Structure 1
Amino acid sequence: MSGEHYYKVCCDHMGQDVEITDREGKVYVGKIERVDREYVYIREERAPQGGHQGPGLFFFPLALGALVAIPLIGIAGFRRRPYY
């Protein structure tokens, strides 16, 4: 698929939870924050890390999410994640 195809798909799914697989097989899961003609920017979901106990650690990892830029021409797969 072309970068233009994924540009349109990503624009249509802006603000939604998605799963994007790049050509190297890395999977990105998160919400599309922004799209331009070269990159899709998603805020990745991060699961809480087990084994840490202490005040605030339960909420803190849930709020953090890295904003990642993925080249549109590097996308190999795209799917919308169901909202629970």
Structure 2
Amino acid sequence: MSAHYYGLCQRHMGRAVEIRTLDGRIHRGIINRVTNNRVFLQPLGRRRGLGGFGYGGWGWGGFGAGIAFGAIASLAVLSLFFW
């Protein structure tokens, strides 16, 4: 299943997505970077530039929240009208 989400994330790089993880958490953001085992999201909305995630402005090392492919339960591409 991880290879499936890796391919989806690669195809939708730069697009707004909603990722639900196996523990029930929901992450919304723009796919900024994809590695072999993680996808990195730039957060959407008003909290975008406030730097709440740690080092590098709005995310770890400037890439945003990293989510492991093994933890992804579902991925949906968001339309522009959603946010």
Sort the TM-score into its range (normalised by shorter chain): 0.7 to 0.9
Task: Give me the CA root mean square deviation.
Answer: 1.5
Q: Is the 8 A contact 1:4 1:37 kept in 2?
A: no
| Paired AA for residue 63 in structure 1 | G
Task: Tell me, in whole angstroms, the C-alpha distance in 1 between the residues paired with 2:44 and 2:48.
Answer: 8
TM-score, length of structure 2 as denominator length: 0.76
Pairs aligned (count): 70
- 1:62 and 1:7, CA in 2 relative to 1: closer, same or farther beyond 3 A? closer
Task: Tell me, in whole angstroms, the C-alpha distance in 2 between the residues paired with 1:36 and 1:46.
Answer: 24
Question: Identity, % of aligned pairs?
Answer: 29
Q: Gapped runs of 5+ residues in structure 1?
A: 48-60
Q: Which residue of 2 aligns with 1:3?
A: 2
Specify the structure having the higher radius of gyration (Cα): 1
Q: Could you tell me how far 1:62 is from its partner in structure 2?
A: 4.8
Q: What is the CA deviation profile of residues 5-29 of structure 1, one whole-angstrom value per residue up to 9, with x for unaligned ones? A: 0000000100000000010010000
Q: Is the 8 A contact 2:41 2:66 kept in 1?
A: yes
| Paired AA for residue 8 in structure 2 | V
After superposing on structure 2, the runs of 4+ consecutive aligned residues of structure 1 that deviate more than 6 Å are: none
Q: Gapped runs of 5+ residues in structure 2?
A: 51-57
